[in-house]
Amino acid sequence: MSDFDAIIVGGGLAGLTTAYLLAKESAEVLLIERGNFAGAKNMTGGRLYSHSLEKILPGFAGEAPVERRVTREKVSLMTGDSSVTVDYFSPGLAQPGQDSYTVLRADFDQWLAGRAEAEGAQIVTGIKVDDILIRDGQVRGIVAGGDEMEADVTVLADGVNSLLAQKLGLRAELPPQQVAVGVKELIALPASVIEDRFQCRTGEGTAWLFAGQPSGGRVGGGFLYTNKESVSLGVVCTLSDLIAGNATLPQLLENFKRHPAVAPLVEGGKLIEYSGHLVPEGGLAMIPRLVTDGALIVGDAAGFCINLGYTVRGMDFAVGSGEYAAQAILQAKQAGNFSAESLDAYRSALEESFIMQDMRLYHKFPHFMETTPRIFAGYPEMASDLMAQLFVVDGQRPQPLYKKAGRSLKTVGTLNLILDALRGVRAL
Ligand SMILES: Cc1cc2nc3c(=O)[nH]c(=O)nc-3n(C[C@H](O)[C@H](O)[C@H](O)COP(=O)(O)OP(=O)(O)OC[C@H]3O[C@@H](n4cnc5c(N)ncnc54)[C@H](O)[C@@H]3O)c2cc1C
């Protein structure tokens, strides 16, 4: 007889969703989180696409500590001193089902932990799970602080660098080219200042992504998300690129913050939090074996994250994978069979889900980014040059538009532009 139906390692969105759904169906659940509270060690850019959590907790945004609903999307191509921006505002962005919210994980994860506890899940914080308990070749629980605890199923929700999945042989050590690293500053500003600077109403906000200068022209990008009374400003870069380059990530973030197009946006703000975290970016190639006898793996630990260089998306996958994991565990409980074969219902459900559909859709994109450095150093300069040709009036002899555009295109080469566009479209 096990101590619990399920032990979940990690109190991020993946683990908490699994715990909530299992406890809701009266399963005996223990979740162990090494941070002092759920969300204490978790980081996001961050915008949460609502669809997967909405399915589980309808109307959650009315109750949860979300920051702002995103109604404005901006993408900028940046050189050292210029910025070319696409600004998309639409009420459609706020429509139920396609809405998204900026969140701060320390608050948001604690709220979800509260929901799981209210359903009966036991959440223990401040304890690190050191090992997996294996008996007769089957996972039987965990070892933490010298104590052994048994469960019919152990859920690995321990994030991108899942040492437990490595111990179990479900995945290998992360190679630098399959992982990016992000740093973020949380900068406090009054709500009225944010609403003026980012042209948004109370409760509404902006998601802003930057390619070019923020990552020093390497694979990666910058982000800015508006919260209620702060903005999240950060940079994400591929680890292998950082190792090869000479700028550190904190330096890149400092340069980004001082960029003439960004500095006025955060002027007068007060730094209230600085955080750094790894991001899975191997895409489909990084997904490990998802189930074994008595255990399964969810969220970032399973590599469910898409990094398109200038944007990262993993939170809706973490929630979605938690849902499918909970369903498979409940089925296994009913059948009294916790073998890999039985838990494989999780993998099968994922295959048909939005998670694997999206992972498959974008599977060529990491390779496209790595082999198309012009996205990060080339096109931003070209776009800036083109804008200068169009907008700068200096009293010199005018030139027809096609000649101006032709000059800018020469900076990367017309053939390169066409080939990159074709490869980019194919990668999507
Ligand atoms: C810079 C950056 C920007 C991002 N931006 C976005 C964004 O805008 N939108 C988006 O959707 N996604 C974004 N992501 C990705 C997103 O944050 C992750 O995909 C998501 O947090 C994964 O959730 P998770 O529950 O799987 O893992 P995590 O949130 O990492 O949770 C894992 C938990 O396990 C705990 N843990 C680990 N090991 C142990 C152990 N041995 N014992 C006990 N506890 C343990 C950790 O403390 C942690 O609480 C971003 C990520 C980064 C780093």
Residue 31 has pLDDT above 90, yes or no: yes
Q: Is position 71 within any domain?
A: no
The answer to which of 159-168, 334-343, 391-400 has the lowest mean pLDDT is 391-400
CA of 179 to the centre of ligand 1 (A): 13
Nearest atom, ligand 1, residue 305 CA: 19
Q: Is position 335 within any domain?
A: no
Q: Is position 230 within any domain?
A: yes
Q: What is the pLDDT of residue 29?
A: 98
Residues 322, 345: Cα–Cα separation, whole Å: 13
Q: What is the pLDDT of residue 131?
A: 96
Q: What is the DSSP string of 372-419?
A: -GGGTTTHHHHHHHHHHHHH---SSPP--HHHHHHHHHHTT-HHHHHH
Task: Report which protein residue has its CA nearest ligand 1's atom 33.
Answer: 10
Q: What is the pLDDT of residue 163?
A: 93
Q: What is the pLDDT of residue 385?
A: 85
Q: Which residue range forms the structural domain that includes residue 412? A: 378-427
Average predicted confidence (pLDDT) for the chain: 91
Strands 230-238 and 122-125: unpaired
The token pair that represents 281 in the structure block: 């970016």
Q: Which amino acid is at 288?
A: P
Mutate to test the pocket of ligand 1, among 73, 225, 239, 279 (most ligand atoms within 8 A of CB): 279
Q: What is the pLDDT of residues 33-78, one digit of tens each?
A: 999 999 998 888 889 999 999 999 999 999 999 999 999 999 999 9
Q: What is the pLDDT of residue 254?
A: 96
2-to-29, 122, 210, 308 alpha-carbon distances in Å: 11, 15, 50, 42
Q: What is the DSSP string of 308-365?
A: -SS-EE-HHHHHHHHHHHHHHHHHHHHHT--SHHHHHHHHHHHHHSHHHHHHHHTTTH
Burial class (CB in 10 A: 0-12, 13-18, 19+), 169: exposed
Q: What is the pLDDT of residues 357-395, one digit of tens each?
A: 999 988 877 777 778 878 888 888 888 888 888 888 888
Please choose, from the candidates 298, 428, 280, 289, the residue with its C-alpha nearest in 3D space to the C-alpha of residue 363: 428
Q: What is the pLDDT of residue 122?
A: 98
End residue of a domain, out of 259, 280, 301: 280
Average pLDDT value for residue range 412-421: 74
Task: Report which protein residue has its CA nearest ligand 1's atom 51.
Answer: 44
How many structural domains does the chain have?
Answer: 2
Residues 374, 80: Cα–Cα separation, whole Å: 15
Nearest atom, ligand 1, residue 13 CA: 25
DSSP tag of 197: H
CA of 255 to the centre of ligand 1 (A): 26
When comparing pLDDT for 408 and 189, which is higher? Answer: 189
CA of 300 to the centre of ligand 1 (A): 6
Mutate to test the pocket of ligand 1, among 18, 30, 44 (most ligand atoms within 8 A of CB): 44
Return phi, psi of residue 306, to 5°: -120, 125
End residue of a domain, out of 244, 259, 280: 280
Q: Which amino acid is at 406?
A: G
> Would you call 16 helix, strand, or coil by DSSP?
helix
Residue with tokens 């009225």: 192
Residue 427 has pLDDT above 70, yes or no: no
CA of 236 to the centre of ligand 1 (A): 14
Nearest atom, ligand 1, residue 40 CA: 49
Burial class (CB in 10 A: 0-12, 13-18, 19+), 236: buried
Q: Is position 161 within any domain?
A: no
CA of 122 to the centre of ligand 1 (A): 20
CATH code: domain of residue 241: 3.30.9.90
Question: What's the CA angle centered on 96, arms 202 and 115, to 5 degrees?
Answer: 85
Average pLDDT value for residue range 210-232: 93
Which residues, judged by CB distance below 6 Å to any ligand atom, belong to the binding site of ligand 1? 9-15, 32-35, 41-48, 128-129, 157-159, 182, 184, 234, 236, 277, 279, 299-301, 305, 312-316, 318
Q: Is position 78 within any domain?
A: no
CA of 297 to the centre of ligand 1 (A): 14
CA of 299 to the centre of ligand 1 (A): 8
End residue of a domain, out of 240, 256, 280: 280
Q: Is position 206 within any domain?
A: yes
Q: What is the pLDDT of residue 309?
A: 63
Residue 130 has pLDDT above 80, yes or no: yes
Global confidence as pTM: 0.94
Residues 247, 172: Cα–Cα separation, whole Å: 28
CA of 46 to the centre of ligand 1 (A): 11
Q: Is position 138 within any domain?
A: no
Residues 31, 27: Cα–Cα separation, whole Å: 12
CA of 201 to the centre of ligand 1 (A): 30
Please choose, from the candidates 330, 342, 227, 357, the residue with its C-alpha nearest in 3D space to the C-alpha of residue 293: 342
Q: What is the pLDDT of residues 264-288, one digit of tens each?
A: 999 999 999 999 999 888 788 888 9
Q: Is position 56 within any domain?
A: no
